[in-house]
């Protein structure tokens, strides 16, 4: 028997080449993520844990920030100031902190000073966040 019939066993309303659980850019939709996890109950528990973590973080992040600021004021700033104490920053025009004007060597040292402080403060802040809240459930 010669049967020239095209049969399609797809899902009604589905578009050719379009997947139900995937966006056009290839990322998974929320349903696709749940399906990929295999268990909707686990996915629901994860979302609940993430929501709880986010709520706790949003309510209490300032405590970790204030703790980092206190450490910065008492330990970090004096240590960095001691390291860069030989420079006289008053000779710089720092009206625009992102673009100070003055002696190029002094400007370079000032930028290193600011960068070192920002980097170390962000490390201390991240450590305080991790200690206080732990890692966000993934």
Mean pLDDT, the chain, rounded, equals 84
Distance, in Å, from the CA atom of 21 to the CA atom of 29, rounded to the nearest integer, reads 5
Q: Which of these ranges, 23-27, 66-70, 85-89, has the smallest mean pLDDT?
A: 23-27
Domain with 83, as residue range(s), is: 30-133
How many domains is the chain partitioned into structurally?
Answer: 1
User: Is residue 137 pLDDT above 70, yes or no?
Assistant: yes
pLDDT digits (tens, 9 = 90+) for 99-129: 888 888 998 999 999 999 999 999 999 999 8
pLDDT of residue 97: 76
Q: Give yes or no for a contact between 123 and 76, defined as CB atoms under 8 angstroms apart.
A: no
Residue 138 maps to a domain:
no
Q: Phi and psi at residue 28, in whole multiples of 5°?
A: -80, 145
Residue 42 maps to a domain:
yes
Residue 25 maps to a domain:
no
pLDDT of residue 68: 92
Residue 115 maps to a domain:
yes
Which residues, at least 6 apart from 72, have a Cβ–Cβ distance to it below 8 Å? 121, 124
Q: How far is CA 78 from CA 1, 21, 83, 117, 127, in A?
A: 91, 55, 9, 11, 20
Residue 2 maps to a domain:
no
Residue 107 maps to a domain:
yes
Residue 86 maps to a domain:
yes
pLDDT digits (tens, 9 = 90+) for 26-63: 788 877 776 776 666 777 888 899 999 999 999 988 99
Residue 116 maps to a domain:
yes
């Amino acid at each position: 028997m010669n049967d020239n019939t095209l049969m399609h066993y797809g899902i009604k309303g589905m578009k050719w080449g379009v997947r139900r659980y995937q966006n056009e850019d290839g990322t998974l939709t929320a349903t696709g993520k749940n399906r990929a996890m295999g268990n909707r109950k686990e996915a629901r528990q994860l979302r609940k844990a993430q929501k709880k973590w986010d709520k706790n973080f949003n309510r209490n992040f300032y405590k970790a920030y204030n703790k980092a600021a206190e450490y910065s004021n008492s330990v970090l700033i004096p240590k960095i100031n001691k390291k860069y104490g030989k420079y006289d920053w008053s000779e710089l025009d720092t009206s625009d902190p992102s673009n100070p004007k003055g002696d190029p060597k002094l400007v370079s040292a000032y930028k290193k000073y600011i960068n070192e402080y920002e980097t170390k403060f962000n490390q201390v802040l991240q450590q305080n966040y991790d200690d206080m809240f732990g890692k966000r459930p993934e």
